[in-house]
Amino acid sequence: MLEIEIKVRVPDIKAVREQVIASGGVLTETLTEHDSYYNAPHRDFGITDEALRLRETGTKTTVTYKGPKDTILGSKVREELNLDITDPKIFDSIITRLGFVMVAVVQKRREYYQYQDFTISLDQVEGLGNFVEIELISDSNAEMAAARVDETAIKMGVTGERITLSYLELLLSTR
C-alpha cells in the first residue's frame, strides 16, 4: 500500500475551500489532531527519514510508523503503518520505557474533503501557517497516481510551492 501525497503552502485557504466544494468535494470530517513524534534510541529518524507518531483526535488514537520518503513526479511516496490503540498515556509510557524520546508536538485543525478517490486536507497548523494536502492511496503504479494528484492540484488552484518536508520537519527547522 502506497500513499501518494503532495503538500502545498497556501496564502488563501478560503479560496481553495470554495474551489474544492464547487468541484464536488464533500467535507467528511473536521477535527483537531494532536500529534506527538518520537525518536528512537538506536538510530536518528531525522537521518533515516522515518517517523513514529502518536495521533490523538478526541475520538480516536492511532500509532503510525512512516518509512523513508521517496519522490516520484514531485509526489511523496512512503510506507505507512497504522495501529489503532485504546490508551495514549499507556502507549507513551511503554515507548518511553523502551528508550524512545518524544521530540515534538504538532497540533493542527484539519478539514478532510473527499473528492473522487482523493482525500484533500485543509490544514491550519499551530505555529506554521496554512497548507493543503492532496492524497491518493494506491496499490500499484505510483507514476499514474502521481499524475492524477497533479491534475487535481491544478484544478483546485493549489499551485504554490510543493513542500516535501513534514510538519514535524518544518517545525524543527524553525527552532
Give the sign of the dihedral formed by CA 149, CA 152, CA 158, CA 161. positive
What is the residue whose three cell numbers read 518520537?
Answer: 38
In the complex, least distance from residue 48 CB atom to a copy of itself, rounded to whole angstroms: 10
Site map 53..72 versus a copy of itself, x via CB under 8 A: ----------x-x-x-----
Q: Which amino acid is at 6?
A: I
Chain CA centroid to CA 104, Å = 15
The yes or no reply on residue 101 touching a copy of itself (CB under 8 A) is: no
> Is the Cβ of residue 61 or residue 130 nearer to a copy of itself in the bound state?
61
Cα–Cα distances in angstroms (integers) from residue 101 to residues 39, 63, 104, 118, in the given order:
5, 15, 9, 34
Beta strands in 73-169 (DSSP E): 75-78, 80-85, 101-115, 118-125, 129-138
Site size for a copy of itself, by CB under 8 A?
24
- Out of 12, 18, 44, 87, the only residue in the binding site for a copy of itself (CB under 8 A) is 87
- Out of 58, 59, 84, 174, the only residue in the binding site for a copy of itself (CB under 8 A) is 84
Known catalytic residue at 37: yes
3-class DSSP state of 156: coil
**Which residue ranges make up the site for a copy of itself (CB under 8 A)?**
40-43, 50, 52, 63, 65, 67, 79, 81-87, 90-91, 93-94, 97-99
Active site residues: 37
